[in-house]
Amino acid sequence: PLHGIKVLDLTRVLAIQGPFCTQILADYGADVLKIENPRGGDDTRLWRTEAEKKIWKSDQNDISAYFCTINRNKRSMTLNLKQAEGRDILLRLVKSADVVVDNFIPGKMDELGIGYKTLSGINPSIIHASVSGYGANGPYAHRAGYDAIAAAEAGLLHITGERDGPPTRPGLGLTDMSTGLFLHGAVLAALFSRQKTGKGQKIDASLFESQVALLSNVAMSWLNAGEIAHRWGTAHPSIVPYQAFKTKDSYLVLGATNNRQFQLLCKLIDRLDLAEDPCFADNSARVKNRKRMGKILDKILLSKSTDEWMATLEGSGMPYGPINSIDRVFSHPQTAARNMVHSLPYKPAVCGELKVLGNPVKFSETTPSIRLAPPRLGEHTENTLEELGFSKEEVEKMIKKGIL
């Protein structure tokens, strides 16, 4: 759907919200050119786990699984933006671009002479999307911000974890990735607006604001009722039962979100008496008697294995699901049925291929595609400069000067 849209990706390092945003745009067909520092490129290229030593060829030291996670379908060009010649090349690229995305500290691009005022002066239709820890203004605007910091300061860690336990960080960078989702949606909205007005615009997003927005019902309860949220583990503050229960061999999540589902659950576990108990007559009663409800279900669920309970629940209409390990996720029949894993030819890998995640949204007409494997550092520099009219001799001189 974004075929023909050109994106200059100036995002990098730990804050994956920017690269995640541009990868989504790339999956949707945009031509994304990743601009990297000639001295090593994006830091995430070096972030390998111990297990990765066996999957990359010994002479391939500029690639990692972390980098590959958020940089497929992109081209890579090295460019030193600290040098005037490097900035001049960027501005030449901006002339024919549609979108620029960066995650510099606010004000840094203006300081370098490549801020929105300069970019829009060259290309009035340019959309310049910037993402940072705290946004372009406010008392914390110039503070560095990463996922865990924003998750802490904007409340997520306060409400995550066991009831009587310490704050717990989610297993993934949810604040980072959610910000990338917000940002890609904003870019699409700006592109749609440009179709009507012909004008580009500046987009300013932040980890902090995204996480505040994600507080959703927790925020509404505080803002309107003064209710301070607590940590609930896997349970839900206003729906019972809706949580993980320990089985004989692992864990199973059950979600009876209305009376019909609760009555169905009681039938499936052969405890219709619970559905008739005034203490559990409706959801408000079950919330009030949460502990009693939990103790009863804890004892029942422990009597069988997860697979045995799944056999009982299958086809019933009762919402349920096991807590799967990562290996079980990728052997799951639904993962295969929805094409959530793709293999790409990849020279840096010992086996010659790279497995990547599929697109989670399916289109009936304009199908997103995985066209390019994650790029090697500067893989497309020379071709890009040729398109701008630079000769091979000029390119070699710029390499020697550290511009490329």
| pLDDT tens digits along 112-163 | 999 999 999 999 999 999 999 999 999 999 998 999 999 999 999 999 999 9
Helix axes 207-214, 174-197, angle to 10 degrees: 100
Structural domain ending residue among the three candidates 298, 322, 346 = 322
pTM of the complete model beyond 0.85: yes
| pLDDT tens digits along 354-368 | 999 999 999 999 999
- Asked if the structure places residue 1 within a domain, the reply is no
- Asked if the structure places residue 329 within a domain, the reply is no
Are 172 and 71 in a shared domain? yes
Are 288 and 354 in a shared domain? no
Q: Residue 277 pLDDT > 70, yes or no?
A: yes
Are 64 and 202 in a shared domain? yes
**Residue 156: domain span:** 6-214+338-400
Show Cβ contacts of residue 77 under 8 Å, excluding neighbours closer than 6 positions: 33, 34, 35, 36, 378, 380, 381, 384
Q: Which of 176, 270, 282, 298 is catalytic?
A: 176
**Average pLDDT of the chain to the nearest whole number:** 97
Q: Residue 305 pLDDT > 80, yes or no?
A: yes
Are the beta carbons of 99 and 6 closer than 8 angstroms?
yes
Structural domain ending residue among the three candidates 322, 349, 379 = 322
Per the rule left: phi > 0, alpha: psi between -120 and 50, beta: everything else, 87 is alpha
| pLDDT tens digits along 336-352 | 999 999 999 999 999 99
- Asked if the structure places residue 204 within a domain, the reply is yes
Rounded distance between C-alpha atoms, residue 147 and residue 167, angstroms? 15
Structural domain ending residue among the three candidates 322, 351, 366 = 322
Sequence-ordered alpha helix ranges (H) in 257-366: 259-268, 272-276, 283-288, 290-301, 306-313, 326-329, 333-337
- The pLDDT score that the predictor gives to residue 221 is 96
Q: Residue 93 pLDDT > 90, yes or no?
A: yes
Are 357 and 298 in a shared domain? no
Are 315 and 343 in a shared domain? no
Are 307 and 345 in a shared domain? no
Rounded distance between C-alpha atoms, residue 262 and residue 213, angstroms? 31
Are 122 and 166 in a shared domain? yes
Residue 328 tokens, joined: 């079980």
**Would you call 27 a catalytic residue per the annotation?**
no
Rounded distance between C-alpha atoms, residue 25 and residue 191, angstroms? 12
| pLDDT tens digits along 169-186 | 999 999 999 999 999 999
Are 170 and 46 in a shared domain? yes
Are 132 and 267 in a shared domain? no
| pLDDT tens digits along 283-300 | 999 999 999 999 999 999
> What is the domain count for the chain?
2
- The pLDDT score that the predictor gives to residue 180 is 97
Band of the pLDDT at 85, cuts 50, 70, 90?
A: very high
- The pLDDT score that the predictor gives to residue 14 is 62
| pLDDT tens digits along 15-41 | 689 999 999 999 999 999 999 999 999
Are 10 and 158 in a shared domain? yes
Query: What's the helix, strand, coil split of the chain in %, to 5?
Result: 40, 15, 45
Residue 45 is given by DSSP the state G
Are 189 and 127 in a shared domain? yes
Domain holding 308: CATH number? 3.30.1540.10
Band of the pLDDT at 12, cuts 50, 70, 90?
A: confident
Are 50 and 167 in a shared domain? yes
Q: What are phi and psi of 208, to 5 degrees?
A: -60, -50
Three-state DSSP class for residue 36: strand
Residue 276 tokens, joined: 């008739």
With pLDDT > 70 as the criterion, what percentage of the chain qualifies? 100
